[in-house]
Amino acid sequence: MDVSQYLEIFIDETKEHLQSLNTQLLELEQDSENMDTINEIFRAAHSLKGMAGTMGFKRMQALTHDMENVFSEVRNGTLKVNAEMIDTLFQCLDALETYLSTIQESGDEGTDDNEPLIKALQAHQGKAGSAPAAKAADKAAPVAEDTSDGYEKKWKNIKFGDVEKHVLTEAAEQDMNIMGITVYVQESCILKAARAFLVYKAIEEIGEVIVSEPRAQDIEDERFELDFSLIVVSEKSLEEVIKAAEGVSEIEKVLGEVIDSSLYQGGKAPVAAVAAESVAQTTEVAAATPAKATPAKTEKKAVAKPVVNRTVRVDIEKLDVLMNLVSELIIAKNSLVSASTVESNSNNTGFNEHIEYLESVTTNLHESVMKVRMVPIESVVNKFPRMIRDLSKKLNKKMELYMSGEETELDRTVVDEIGDPLMHLLRNSADHGLESAAVRKERGKPEVGSIFLDAYQDGNNVVIEVRDDGNGIDVESVKNKAIERGVITPEQAAGMSDKEIIDLLFLPSFSTAKVVSDVSGRGVGLDVVKSKIESLSGEVEVKTKLGEGSTWIIRLPLTLAIIQALMVVVGGEKYAISLGSIQTIEDISPAEIKTVQAKEVIHLRGTVIPLIRLSDVLDAPSTKDPSENMVVVIVKKGDKLAGLVVDELMGQQEIVIKSLGKYISKCKIISGATILGDGEVALILDANTLI
Amino acid sequence: MDELKVEYETTQYIVIKIGEEQFGINIKYIDNIVRMQRITRVPKVAPYLKGVINLRGEVIPVMSLRIKMDLEDDEYTKATRIIILKLEQHGMLGVVVDEVKEVVTLGQDNIEKMAHDGKDDKVNFITAIGKHADSLISLLDLNAVAAEKDYM
């Protein structure tokens, strides 16, 4: 079968499943008894197996198959989760990821069989074998079949709700037979749902199905594997019920047992079961006790289960095309606007109205296209808890990652790129930032180090902070290292502020870790982080306090393509400044300019703000008389301010950012260009690089 | 220089004029030829980069071949054109020329390879000389034309 057309879907879905497995495994590590988590894991592993099988990736299928087996044992309660097992499972996930990336690159899964992993999995499974067999023997079934040949009495795992408990208790009072049935359908069976339905129907004729696992609806939709379990109440004997079920063709095996009340009364009722009359009183009480517990549990389940979104997968390229069209539309709209202002006279108010309408439509269209492109950063940060867990083991430091704001949304292209820089920063915090447990104890800090990853929206920017409560950056040590490396001279160092020295960390080939570990310390970290984030038109800065920890702050623009901008004129040329970075616009008389350290500053409402004359920066001689009042655009970057002196203001405009292309990439102060309504090209000033 | 090695029997060139000299540009690298239009200056770049223009919604950098060849700065006339090149390595690039004359078809036997002596900057942009009718046409090596050059 040609499955290549499904490859993309397969890759996407496999990624999702692997991510879910990672998250769930982490949860399982914390709470090894959580049935919901175990079920979730089992489901994900099972779907993975199925998908890999369909696509013909045999090795991947084999590995997931064994993983699934282990989960299955865990789910049945025959195998306990332990640290060693979790480690193995994580390794399996890594192996699966390797398969996936090989598939992504070459369309083939590669040749690595991952034998050791499969063996390890089987070893875990082997441990399970002995325990459950003994248990099964204890509960000597009335029917001769036993579970040793691979069939399990899965009805034992069925959980009873209040209603069912009540029904069963009543049935027991009426001397009805209550039995658990597990039906195995033949593996070769094609219409499993149909067979299951027939079994269901046959049983319904002679009794009543109280509970089924999976639910009847799921069975009908074929959402089960080869087996399903039922709890049946019938006047007929167990043998008759089993016979009825076995009467359906393509049924491999039917296991059944008359069950005692202890199963559905949460194990609290006396073991003497069939004598229902005598227990009737106690059952009422017993049924009431778990009743309190159950609602809480179901509620939790409701929260844990993610709501399935109604989504369509769209190729990002198609969105790019859509976005370009929207851009074109906005440019066309801008031309209309400028045409209308040129020819404006009183009698074409109707025309203006239409233009205003067009303007609001294009703005809305732009916004919704932007929103389509936005994805939560969740998809990227989700893998970090796992990474921190691994790092914690590798570095032998105790640490915990706290994340907030995973739902913060960013443009898809940015989200795709932001993963690596964030990973670098987290690794950095884990390796360099956090002290070892012993040192932490000495300093009176909790032994377990904390790393925080917080994301939030701030105006036109999204801010992602990576914070740790570790040692912070030792400025002296950085300074010495920089001198040692010849990055700066001792004389230079003496004149540098702490901040300037910390900024040295972002230079290529600068690593302060004394020991080069495989986590960080090759000096290829922070400079890569910085350049990557700058390529996304973002910026990164660090705040640190020795002994208390550091905070790395990444600022990213919310959108990449279209922004609101202030148009200004400098030396007869038009420039755009992103509205997001503008604080205020001031009218300053030349007399207000003071000079501090040979730099021009103004004193504005209690703050001293350095002035930047754009005409000098842009080599565009100002056309204004120097004695006239100046127009100063106050821009901010983080908490730093600067005043940009311009000749004239033109007004606010929605502009489409176009790249200047690779050919003119050297010009740092220009972040791009835009096309104005009259077809003229205006450059976009990057206020961030000016400050 | 690869472009010349993979030539077929004949190649079409667009003949342009810069000053009194005629240059030929392989037609397969030409995306478009547009009239002179307003060029938006970009600050802090090499002087041969004139700035950027708007070509049907795309922002395209424009360079001056004259300045790059150490000739006098362009004087824009009615004949001045911007040739939009599409290069693999550099993407789209506009080149200002004094005049576009004609399209010629040159056979291999009409093309004479040039030996580089490396002394003259102008010569480095030329890979071969084409003979057409009575005139000589210097065939431009576009990668060399587009290559960045430091002006101190």
Q: What is the tens place of the pLDDT at every residue in A482-517? A: 888 777 788 877 888 888 888 887 776 665 554 444
| Main-chain phi, psi angles of A337, to 5 degrees | -60, -45
Residues on chain B touching A660 (C-beta within 8 angstroms): 42, 52, 59, 61
Tokens representing B111 are 């093309």
| Residue to substitute from B37, B44, B50, B64, interface A, most A β-carbons within 10 A | B44
**Would you call B59 and A666 a contact, using CB atoms and an 8 Å cutoff?**
no
Residues on chain B touching A690 (C-beta within 8 angstroms): none
Considering the domain boundaries, does residue B39 fall inside one? yes
pLDDT tens-digit map of A207-239: 777 777 777 777 777 777 778 888 888 877 778
Q: Which residues of A263-285 are buried (b: 16+ CB within 10 A; e: fewer)?
A: bbbbeebeeebeebeebeeebee
**Would you call B61 and A619 a contact, using CB atoms and an 8 Å cutoff?**
no
Instruction: Supply the pLDDT for residue A587.
Output: 92
The ipTM of this complex is 0.80
Q: Which residue range is the domain that position B48 belongs to?
A: 2-146
Query: Would you tell me which residues 594-623 of chain A have a C-beta closer than 8 angstroms to some C-beta of chain B?
Result: 617-620
CA distance A269 to A281: 10
| Residue to substitute from B37, B38, B39, B40, interface A, most A β-carbons within 10 A | B40
What does R_g of chain B's alpha carbons equal in angstroms? 15
**From the candidates A27, A68, A409, A417, which is the catalytic residue?**
A68
Does residue A136 surpass a pLDDT of 90? no
**Closest CB to B43 among A327, A620, A661:** A620
Q: Where in chain A is the domain with CATH 3.30.70.1110?
A: 147-303
Residues on chain B touching A669 (C-beta within 8 angstroms): 43-44
pTM for the predicted model, two decimal places = 0.48
**From the candidates A17, A40, A46, A73, which is the catalytic residue?**
A46
Counts of helices then strands in chain A (DSSP H, E)? 23, 22
**Closest CB to A661 among B41, B51, B91:** B91
CATH value of A562-690 in 1.10.579.10, 2.40.110.10, 3.40.47.10, 2.40.50.180: 2.40.50.180
Instruction: Supply the pLDDT for residue B8.
Output: 54
A333 in Cβ contact with A354 (< 8 Å): no
Cβ of residue A690 closer than 8 Å to a chain B Cβ: no
pLDDT tens-digit map of B69-106: 888 887 888 889 999 998 887 788 999 999 999 899 88
Q: Where in chain A is the domain with CATH 1.10.287?
A: 316-375
Q: N- to C-terminal Cα distance for chain A? A: 60
Architecture of domain A377-557 in CATH?
Answer: 2-Layer Sandwich (3.30)
Instruction: Supply the pLDDT for residue A232.
Output: 81
What CATH number belongs to A316-375?
1.10.287
**Would you call A663 and B61 a contact, using CB atoms and an 8 Å cutoff?**
yes
CA distance A67 to A21: 11
Instruction: Supply the pLDDT for residue A1.
Output: 46
DSSP 3-state of A400:
strand
| Residue to substitute from A663, A666, A683, A686, interface B, most B β-carbons within 10 A | A663
Range of A378-382, A492-496, A569-573, B74-78 with top mean pLDDT: A569-573
| Main-chain phi, psi angles of A318, to 5 degrees | -65, -40
Active site residue A428: yes
Residues on chain A touching B146 (C-beta within 8 angstroms): 663
CA distance A145 to A143: 6
pLDDT range class, residue A682, cuts 50, 70, 90:
very high
Query: Would you tell me which residues 375-414 of chain A have a C-beta closer than 8 angstroms to some C-beta of chain B?
Result: none
Q: Which residues of A302-337 are buried (b: 16+ CB within 10 A; e: fewer)?
A: eeeeeeeeeeeeeeeeebeeebeebbebbbebbebb
pLDDT range class, residue A176, cuts 50, 70, 90:
confident
Considering the domain boundaries, does residue B152 fall inside one? no
Cβ of residue A123 closer than 8 Å to a chain B Cβ: no
Least confident piece of the model among A188-192, A581-585, A655-659:
A188-192
* Residue B12 Cα, gap to closest chain A Cα (Å): 27
pLDDT range class, residue A597, cuts 50, 70, 90:
confident
CATH 3.30.70.1110 fits A147-303, yes or no: yes
Instruction: Supply the pLDDT for residue B145.
Output: 81
Active site residue A382: no
A339 in Cβ contact with A677 (< 8 Å): yes
Cβ of residue B120 closer than 8 Å to a chain A Cβ: no
Residues on chain A touching B151 (C-beta within 8 angstroms): none
CA distance A521 to A455: 26
Does residue A307 surpass a pLDDT of 60? no
Residues on chain B touching A330 (C-beta within 8 angstroms): none
**Chain A CA closest to residue B58:** A658
What CATH number belongs to A4-135?
1.20.120.160
Q: How many domains does chain B have?
A: 1
Instruction: Supply the pLDDT for residue B10.
Output: 82
Query: Would you tell me which residues 238-277 of chain A have a C-beta closer than 8 angstroms to some C-beta of chain B?
Result: none
The domain that holds B102 is classified in CATH as 2.40.50.180
**Closest CB to B59 among A618, A662, A681:** A681
Q: N- to C-terminal Cα distance for chain B? A: 27
